[in-house]
């Protein structure tokens, strides 16, 4: 694990950039508090802030290969992530290729695999990863991200060369100063719709992300070439052996959890009231009976998961530590949260996750979480929508047009209007993920510079095209895999845990688990005539999780921003709007009107208000610079920052 920052010179003058890269690397030290190191060659500057998880004493980064005593090998790598089949790959490389290894590190395995198998080696990695390799003989850089996008990698191309980093903030010092405070207008509109900035772009017009499941090649002086190497195909297959399929789910998940819980450092797990995290804890406890678990909640009972989580922990016989979040905690933490995010993400669950990770990091270095289960197994309630709309959406086009006309004359808020609108709207238009914050009409009133041609379909249309052969329920899953999971869920999972030097592992997002989940027919995810979701997973976990949790309604770290914005957070929200400096982009009086109506309980505008508040904090941190969060120095366990010329 590492916070990585690299520079590949276009002109063979990398050494001149050493000090600048070394300075910017300090912005990533929360990701790697145990050690920091920089290697410089004629062509590259490779920097890594390391979180020591595997080969704690011998795995210092950057790593070179082949090992050559006191000299360096041909290759150099910086790597962020975890490779769960590293030992198996190492054994294969030794036996079949005679590879020689100097460390037990996963990074060295990646280098040896690349040396012997070339770029195709990336498809053999089981785990989460973002890495950059420099081949000194071929004078070529190669790198990749894992198929789900669990670990991030940002790119910036300049006249001097290419910069790559774990977080966007480390690249900002290398952007043109005149453009440093620019906000991409298209992504502002996408953010206000989706509550996140869609991959591969960012809020900065010159910085982009390497896409999930993509690799890149860069030769100094040439173009930076990204390509997709992995396709997450969903292929529902009717089965005559449901019991066998259910056993495959159980077996693959058990193997994944047992693999993910293995580390050279203390491991714990997040535990909510839901099925997913409880399943992870139950399976992990099979090999670590005293697994430490961590839960988060509030003093408002309807939002809190603490009691159910505590009951599950007792039933599974594992210790549990609870964290209670208050409005004061939220208001105090938000500037730090936004700084760690780089780009705004308006998911309120960020706040409890940040504070939960802060507490867990006191006791463990690695933590397991249940992210990805809903996308793979059909867990979101909205996946039932195609079934509920079938009575309208399956009608002939002429009848749908008539019903659509009727919906237009029904007053807003009257029962049935939304049903008719959505039922007569093609799925390509109506579905763009779990979060749908501002409508186009609302954005036109909110934004100073609204462009009608920028639509959510700019993001989703290419994904819908790939999913055209799938049924509607599976299509919604596919859209979420390529948008929501990557843009929201995994961004917050990585940033909120790595903010505290904590590695989050996601056993559901494992190659073997995906292989079986991808074949599930829709009736084993969200069957008709019930209100259930992810039924196959529930069956697979029967007898593993406590019975009280098996049918538990999904809460997913809910945050009581609705009541808090009417009470403790109301004046604070006004203060954020007043001090943000975002008035040239957003009509803040519109938001003040939403706050007023929300406080008077005329409507629930909490998600809209929260979305703008997060953007305003982001604007004050990254654009105007008027808000400067205090980021605590991490405790370093290893050596101080050193320069290692090659």
pLDDT per position as a tens digit, 485-498: 999 999 999 999 99
Between CA 182 and CA 170 the distance in angstroms is: 16
Task: Note if the bond before 62 is cis, omega within 30 degrees.
Answer: yes
Q: Is 39 left (phi over 0), alpha (psi -120 to 50) or beta?
A: beta
Using a 10 angstrom Cβ sphere, with 0-12 exposed, 13-18 middle and 19 or more buried, the burial of residue 8 is: buried
Take residue 531 and report the two structure tokens written for it: 């209100």
CATH code of the domain covering residue 49: 3.60.20.10
Starting at the edge strand found earlier in the chain, the sheet holding 140-145 runs 63-65, 75-83, 127-135, 140-145, 214-218, 224-228
Cα distances (Å, whole numbers) of residue 235 to 56, 383, 482: 41, 17, 15
Are 356 and 394 members of one domain? no
Are 122 and 211 members of one domain? yes
Are 144 and 201 members of one domain? yes
Place of tokens 């060369």: 161
CATH code of the domain covering residue 501: 3.40.50.620
Take residue 73 and report the two structure tokens written for it: 């090998």
Number of domains composing the chain: 4
Cα distances (Å, whole numbers) of residue 274 to 42, 319, 514, 550, 557: 53, 17, 20, 8, 10
User: Model confidence over 378-426: pLDDT tens digits?
Assistant: 999 999 999 988 888 888 888 888 888 888 888 877 888 888 888 888 8
Low-confidence ranges of the chain (pLDDT < 70): 67-72, 551-557, 635-646
Q: Which residue range forms the structural domain that includes residue 527?
A: 242-380+481-550
Domain presence at residue 271: yes
Domain presence at residue 635: no
Are 49 and 171 members of one domain? yes
Alpha helices, DSSP H only, in 159-227? 185-194
How many helices (H) and strands (E) in the chain? 27, 18
CB distance 504 to 493 below 8 Å = yes
User: Model confidence over 66-95: pLDDT tens digits?
Assistant: 865 444 678 999 999 999 999 999 999 999
Are 217 and 338 members of one domain? no
Between CA 282 and CA 319 the distance in angstroms is: 12
Are 55 and 192 members of one domain? yes
Picking from 493, 477, 435, the residue whose alpha carbon sits closest to that of residue 149 is: 493
Between CA 164 and CA 13 the distance in angstroms is: 17
Are 138 and 121 members of one domain? yes
Are 84 and 224 members of one domain? yes
In this prediction, residue 547 carries a pLDDT of 84
Take residue 528 and report the two structure tokens written for it: 């008709």
Are 524 and 403 members of one domain? no
Last residue in a domain, options 198, 230, 262: 230
- C-beta neighbour count of 538 within 10 angstroms: 20
In this prediction, residue 555 carries a pLDDT of 57
Domain presence at residue 471: no
Are 294 and 195 members of one domain? no
Cα distances (Å, whole numbers) of residue 519 to 236, 240, 375, 501: 4, 13, 13, 36
Domain presence at residue 289: yes
In this prediction, residue 302 carries a pLDDT of 77
Are 248 and 167 members of one domain? no
In this prediction, residue 196 carries a pLDDT of 97
In 111-223, which ranges are E strands? 127-135, 140-145, 154-157, 161-165, 207-209, 214-218
CB distance 470 to 234 below 8 Å = yes
Backbone angles phi, psi at 621, to 5 degrees: -80, -50
Are 87 and 209 members of one domain? yes
In this prediction, residue 434 carries a pLDDT of 83
In this prediction, residue 646 carries a pLDDT of 43
Last residue in a domain, options 230, 251, 277: 230
Domain presence at residue 466: no
Domain presence at residue 627: no
Domain presence at residue 349: yes
CB distance 345 to 195 below 8 Å = yes
Domain presence at residue 467: no
């Amino acid at each position: 694990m590492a916070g990585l920052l690299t520079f590949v010179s276009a002109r063979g003058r990398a050494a001149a950039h050493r000090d600048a890269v070394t300075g910017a690397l300090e912005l990533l030290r929360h990701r790697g508090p145990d050690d920091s190191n920089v290697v410089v060659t004629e062509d590259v500057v490779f920097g890594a802030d390391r979180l020591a998880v595997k080969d704690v004493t011998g795995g210092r980064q950057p790593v070179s290969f082949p090992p050559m005593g006191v000299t360096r090998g041909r290759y150099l790598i910086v790597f962020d992530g975890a490779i769960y089949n590293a030992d198996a790959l190492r054994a294969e490389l030794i036996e079949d290729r005679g590879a020689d290894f100097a460390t037990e590190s996963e990074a060295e395995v990646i280098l040896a695999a690349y040396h012997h198998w070339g770029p195709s080696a990336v498809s053999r990695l089981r785990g989460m990863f973002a890495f950059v390799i420099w081949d000194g003989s071929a004078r070529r850089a190669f790198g990749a991200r894992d198929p789900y996008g669990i670990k991030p990698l940002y790119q910036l191309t300049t006249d001097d060369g290419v910069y790559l980093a774990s977080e966007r903030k480390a690249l900002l010092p290398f952007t043109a100063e005149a453009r440093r405070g620019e906000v991409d207008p298209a992504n502002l509109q996408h953010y206000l719709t989706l509550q996140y900035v869609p991959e591969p772009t960012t809020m900065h017009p010159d910085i982009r992300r390497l896409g999930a499941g993509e690799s890149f090649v860069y030769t100094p002086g040439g173009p930076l070439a990204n390509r997709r190497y992995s396709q997450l195909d969903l292929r529902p297959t009717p089965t005559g052996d449901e019991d066998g399929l259910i056993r495959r789910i159980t077996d693959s998940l058990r193997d994944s959890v047992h693999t993910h819980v293995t580390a050279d450092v203390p491991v714990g797990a997040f535990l909510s009231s839901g099925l997913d995290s409880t399943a992870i804890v139950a399976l992990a406890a099979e090999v670590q009976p005293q697994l430490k678990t961590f839960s988060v909640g509030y003093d408002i009972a309807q939002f809190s998961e603490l009691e159910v989580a505590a009951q599950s922990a007792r039933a599974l016989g594992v210790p549990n530590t609870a964290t209670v979040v208050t409005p004061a905690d939220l208001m105090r933490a938000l500037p730090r949260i936004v700084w760690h995010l780089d780009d705004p993400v308006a998911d309120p669950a960020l706040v409890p996750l940040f504070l939960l990770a802060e507490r867990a990091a006191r006791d463990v270095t690695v933590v397991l979480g249940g992210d990805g289960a809903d996308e793979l197994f059909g867990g979101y309630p909205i996946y039932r929508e195609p079934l509920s709309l079938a009575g309208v959406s399956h009608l002939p086009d002429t009848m749908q047009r008539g019903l659509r006309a009727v919906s237009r004359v029904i007053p807003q808020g009257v029962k049935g209007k939304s049903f008719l609108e959505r039922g007569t709207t093609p799925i390509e238009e109506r579905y763009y993920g779990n979060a749908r914050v501002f409508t186009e009409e609302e954005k036109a009133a909110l934004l100073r510079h609204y462009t009608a041609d920028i639509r959510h379909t700019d993001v989703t249309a290419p994904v819908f095209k790939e999913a055209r052969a799938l049924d509607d329920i599976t299509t919604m899953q596919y859209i979420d895999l390529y948008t929501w999971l990557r843009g929201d869920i995994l961004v917050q999972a990585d940033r909120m845990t790595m903010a505290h030097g904590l590695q989050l592992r996601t056993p559901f997002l494992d190659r073997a688990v995906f292989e079986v989940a991808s074949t599930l027919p829709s009736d084993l995810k969200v069957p008709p005539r019930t209100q259930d979701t992810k039924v196959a997973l529930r069956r697979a976990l029967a007898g593993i999780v406590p019975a009280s949790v098996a049918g538990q309604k999904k809460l997913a770290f809910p945050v009581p921003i609705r009541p808090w914005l009417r009470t403790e957070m109301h004046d604070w929200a006004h203060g954020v709007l007043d001090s943000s400096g975002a008035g040239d982009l957003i009509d803040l009086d519109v938001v003040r009107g939403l706050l007023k109506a929300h406080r008077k309980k005329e409507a629930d505008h909490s998600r809209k208000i929260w979305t703008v508040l997060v953007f305003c904090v982001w604007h004050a941190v990254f654009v105007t610079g008027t808000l400067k969060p205090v980021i605590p120095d991490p405790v370093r366990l290893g050596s101080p920052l050193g320069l290692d010329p090659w």
